[in-house]
Structure 1
Amino acid sequence: MRRGAKAAVIGSVCTVLVGGAGYGAYNILSALNGDGGGLVGNSAPAVKTGPPSSSEVQDTTRKFFAAWAKGQGTEAASYTNNAADAGPLLNAFGQEARITKVHITPAKPIGTTVPFTVKATVSYDGKSKPLDYKSELTVVRGETTHRPLVDWQPSVVHPQLQRGDTLVTGESASPPIEAVDRNGTVLTKEKYPSLGPILDELRSKYGDKAGGTPGIELSIRHEADAAADTPLLTLAKGKAGRLPTTLSATAQAAAETAVKKYTESSVVAVKPSTGEVLAIANHRDDGFNAAFLGKLAPGSTMKILSAATLIDNGITSMNGPAPCPPYAISESQTFHNLKNMKPDLNATLSDSFSRSCNTAFVKYADAVEVDSLTREAEDRFGLGRDNWQTGIPSFDGSVPASGGPDTAANLIGQGQVQMNPLNMASVTATAMTGTFRQPIVVPLSLDNRERARARGLSANTVQQLRAMMNRTATSGTAAGVMSGLGPDYGAKTGSAEVDGQAKSNSWFTGYRNDIAAAAMTQDGGHGIDAAGPIVAAVLRTGG
């Protein structure tokens, strides 16, 4: 399907009579002409309120399904509460998507919700395939018309459709690919489910460079031009081109298994010596690649970068002072440590780092310049410049120069700092090698991408960061999770408080030999509760 193909987009703006607007206009006109339009004397007909009755649900769905099955998209849309959005997609179903012989079978309603099955045929250029799937709709009462109407959602037409999507059938926008890992193992979405959206992105970007030829497909085309089509049904297979990736099937399998244990979890593993991404996994219902595109406060994992800032600016050192009082005040805001943490006014930076003492870092907020953390992130760790070229869409982290209490909050991974597991895996890789190597998923040579660069860290700073991370893994907050992974290993725990959440987001990053990994679990609690076990499972593979 070439991008020039005509496509109806959900949410397109057009001027129509929506829902029962035409019905209301008819009654007004009848009254003006003296016809009465259902009026008896001076009394208006009773207006129905409340949820639709079972008979109304049955009648509305019957009419909606009948019009949809006949290819009468505009007519079907008139039975919804948003005909302007519903019409284009319902029309595209029989036109651009080439779906015919439609049979819709409703199941027993559950209140006002009606599950149903769609069986149809997709045909294009002499090729045909059966289409079979399940969806559901809900009947509501119109706010102004008081008619029973289908509550319009794109998922009514197909459960994978979202706002802005449409359906098209034709020659695929990109040839299929056979993505292989670093050792030639084929990577499929069936075996590695969370790679599904990522493989679609790789196909969209590199399908025409991998030597394949397009097939014929029914696909979801997304509103954003840059977004990859999502294939739903293949009518005729194209020739797959072979696409090399940096991924490791072994690490990917471990990552997939690990994130399944915790909802809303993501993990990334990289090879510090090269920057090659070894694994990307997400356990999310929305299919969002939070591992690469997430934008969340990283909590105390940020203290790796903050410690580097203190060392590089000559403020303190691993064995220098970093007292850990019970609380600290910065710009009139009070900061606390985790519950039950004992204060230690004689603590060194290594002591406070391994225990993850917030107040020790907050106390240094006045000693650092407002942009010190920002400059460290950009100049030495390669973050926040929006210039990473990983091969798929990614967010490069953000460490803004925030004044006021956010200067202190940023030092402990709260405030205005935003990261994702990709960023934190890269931070760990830089901390353990001293060299920033921008992560990549496919070889740079495929499209002559220019790798982002940064100054990196001195050998002295690296030695101190590695020692502190190793202490954290052996006797600090990460010791239980990292047990048995030594001797060349290190870690940092983190938890980030989020307004409106009962529990904090769980963060964890660590390294072992030549593999660094970071994970995040939303609403997962402390770093060792969820993200820690995920990272440890990936590190055990050795890449």
Structure 2
Amino acid sequence: MGKRRRVPERQGLGRRPALTGLLVTAAVAGLGAGGYVVFGDGASAAGSAQSAEDRRTAPLTAAEVSTAAETFLAAWEAGDVAAAARATSAPEEARVHLAGWTKEAGIEEAAFTARAPRGAALEFAVKATVTHGKLSKPLVYDGGLTVVRSPADGEPVVRWRPSVLHPELRDGERLVTGEAGSAPVKALDRNGGKLTTDAYPSVGPILKSLAEKYGEESGGTPAVALRAVPAETPEDAAKDGKNGDTPPGTKDKTADGRELLRLAEPTPGEVRTTLDPRLQKLAEETVAGKARSSVVLLRASTGEILASANSDPDVDTALRGSLAPGSTMKVVSSAMLLEKDLAANDREHPCPKYSPYGGWKFHNDDKFAMKDATFKASFARSCNTAFISQAEELSDDDLTKVAQQVFGLGLNNWSVGVSTFDGAVPVQTDAPMAASLIGQGGVRMNPLNMASVSATVSAGSFHQPYLVPPTVDGRALARASRSMSSSVLGQLRELMRYTAAAGTAAEAMAGLGPSYGAKTGTAEVEGQDKPNAWFTAYRGDFAAAGVVRESGHGGEHAGPLVAALLRATP
């Protein structure tokens, strides 16, 4: 292209090596098959004489493509972000991305070698260095651009796309160099053995959560890489207080993105968990035989999570699920009714076929009824109407208070060591409040929460479950604000023991007595042909709970999973 303009260095793109390969030849009509002419920086005389409208629609010449490309690449290489951006079809967008080339991506000492254009397209080779702190690595790739006419004046400009910066960069993405994801961890069981998904298929979400929380705390370091990541919108940048001279960052600084060049490999730290390798293995085998199932096993007196498994290894329903727990919630509801003297184990308690409240007509499973039944018998048979019939005696927040204050549920303050859902028992009114008494309405739980409910009954007070010992990082565990009275606790244990011995849980719990208790649950879910099956139980100092989604009755489908774990405890 003849003599090339030189542009002063600006905005820190580093030293400017010689720009090579931009002198091109083009076949010219009228010179014959072997005639060639060398174009300089200016437009042709014919082109300058064209009207603005003609220029906007005229085909691009090879000279115009080469000149537009040289102008853009020379300014980019020199570090003149403003000039390079003006040479594109979208100056504002290009300016932000070009500024991020050094500020976010850390790319320095770039040199571009252009090839002859092919129509409106031109390829170029890139040699540069990516730097992050003390790390640096060569960056070499082939790029490409397309020249178009500006709709405003018909001048040839580079059509702006993020892919001009790098061919693997997509629209809506930015180049960023830095820590890629979280530092990895080497997770250990309680005996010091390594936890892997090969040995324990469903621990994948646990391992990821441990890495996010303890990667760097445990001495690990994440990978460092040049990545293509989702870019912030201008609105996001405004919220972050960034002005137009500062390149927006990424939507999620920890997002993995797509790695283009790795500068440093990650190094893992070590975190010991409370998982028991033998019991975790059994839990994995148990859920593998039952589709859509999840189980959790705890030590009741400490809250240590000994096993947690899901039949779907990618979905952690055991620790993070949010499902209606059905009649397993009656353990909490019973504690409330006993505390308020609205029920007593040996006192007659109504269990009619139907019980209306708040405009809803509640009924029992298979619409059974029990005459002259005691509260203990109603609990063991899982009579819904025995609980609904007491709704008119309750305040809207009574169940919420007992769930939070005695069982530690629904406060979102558990510090387990991995991500969990801590249960929800919202204050409700009218029919939804009544439905909450039988684990429907707005009540939401998972096997971890319901195992903790049984553990609270077994131990006599709430002990927050945890998977990483608090001594690892000095964190404080959640505490309940009060405990049940000895009278309420004694009756609640009797209710669960009777259910395990002679009620809906008897078949699953056979042979596990005498220091035991259980409660079944069947939760109807809109849109499902079959309900979710629930089961929560304790045996000695161990408590467990499980759910099998879209299966049927709790005692039949979830009970055997929970009982298998309890049977394996010392």
TM-score band, normalised by the shorter chain? 0.5 to 0.7
Distance 1:449 1:166, change over 3 A: farther
Distance 1:232 1:347 in 2: 66
Selected match of 2:190 from 172, 177, 182: 182
- Given that residues 295 and 418 in structure 1 are in contact (C-alpha distance below 8 angstroms), is that contact kept between their aligned partners in structure 2? yes
Distance 2:532 2:136 in 1: 51
Taking the TM superposition and a 5 Å limit, the aligned residue runs for 1:237-276 are: 238-276=266-304
- Please tell me whether residue 195 in structure 1 is matched to residue 221 in structure 2: no
Aligned to 1:397: 423
Taking the TM superposition and a 5 Å limit, the aligned residue runs for 1:417-436 are: 417-436=443-462
- Please tell me whether residue 364 in structure 1 is matched to residue 396 in structure 2: no
Aligned-residue offset at 1:541: 2.1
Distance 1:227 1:496, change over 3 A: farther
Distance 1:165 1:301, change over 3 A: farther
Could you tell me which runs of 5 or more consecutive residues in structure 1 were left unpaired when the two chains were aligned.
1-28, 34-87, 89-95, 97-123, 128-163
Distance 1:439 1:354, change over 3 A: same
Superposition TM-score, scaled by structure 1 size: 0.66
Distance 2:315 2:398 in 1: 32
Distance 1:449 1:232, change over 3 A: farther
Distance 1:387 1:208 in 2: 23
- Please tell me whether residue 373 in structure 1 is matched to residue 381 in structure 2: no
Selected match of 2:361 from 324, 334, 348: 334
Distance 1:375 1:412 in 2: 16
Distance 1:284 1:318 in 2: 40
- Please tell me whether residue 302 in structure 1 is matched to residue 310 in structure 2: no
Distance 1:416 1:215, change over 3 A: closer
Taking the TM superposition and a 5 Å limit, the aligned residue runs for 1:199-210 are: 199-210=207-218
Superposition TM-score, scaled by structure 2 size: 0.63
- Given that residues 517 and 535 in structure 1 are in contact (C-alpha distance below 8 angstroms), is that contact kept between their aligned partners in structure 2? yes
Aligned to 2:84: none
Distance 1:218 1:302 in 2: 50
Aligned-residue offset at 1:397: 1.1
Q: After superposition, what is the alpha-carbon deviation per residue over 1:215-247, rounded to whole angstroms, capped at 9, x for unaligned?
A: 578999899849785999998865432211111
Aligned to 1:495: 522
Q: Match of 1:399, as an amino acid?
A: V
Distance 1:320 1:178, change over 3 A: same
Taking the TM superposition and a 5 Å limit, the aligned residue runs for 1:112-151 are: none
Aligned-residue offset at 1:390: 0.9
Distance 1:480 1:227, change over 3 A: farther
CA RMSD of superposed structures (Å): 3.8
Aligned-residue offset at 1:496: 0.5
Q: Match of 1:397, as an amino acid?
A: G
Distance 1:264 1:540 in 2: 22
- Please tell me whether residue 475 in structure 1 is matched to residue 502 in structure 2: yes
Distance 1:165 1:347 in 2: 66
Selected match of 2:439 from 413, 418, 439: 413
- Given that residues 215 and 234 in structure 1 are in contact (C-alpha distance below 8 angstroms), is that contact kept between their aligned partners in structure 2? no
Aligned-residue offset at 1:204: 1.8
Distance 1:498 1:512, change over 3 A: same
Distance 1:125 1:508, change over 3 A: farther
Selected match of 1:516 from 531, 543, 553: 543
- Given that residues 180 and 254 in structure 2 are in contact (C-alpha distance below 8 angstroms), is that contact kept between their aligned partners in structure 1? no
Q: State the secondary structure of the residue aligned to 1:445.
A: helix
Aligned-residue offset at 1:211: 2.7
Distance 2:359 2:567 in 1: 44
Q: How many residues align?
A: 398
- Given that residues 209 and 446 in structure 1 are in contact (C-alpha distance below 8 angstroms), is that contact kept between their aligned partners in structure 2? no
Q: Match of 2:433, as an amino acid?
A: T
Distance 1:226 1:218, change over 3 A: closer
Distance 1:378 1:406, change over 3 A: same
Distance 1:437 1:221 in 2: 42
Identical aligned residues as a percent: 48
- Given that residues 214 and 239 in structure 1 are in contact (C-alpha distance below 8 angstroms), is that contact kept between their aligned partners in structure 2? yes
Aligned to 1:536: 563
Distance 1:171 1:365, change over 3 A: closer
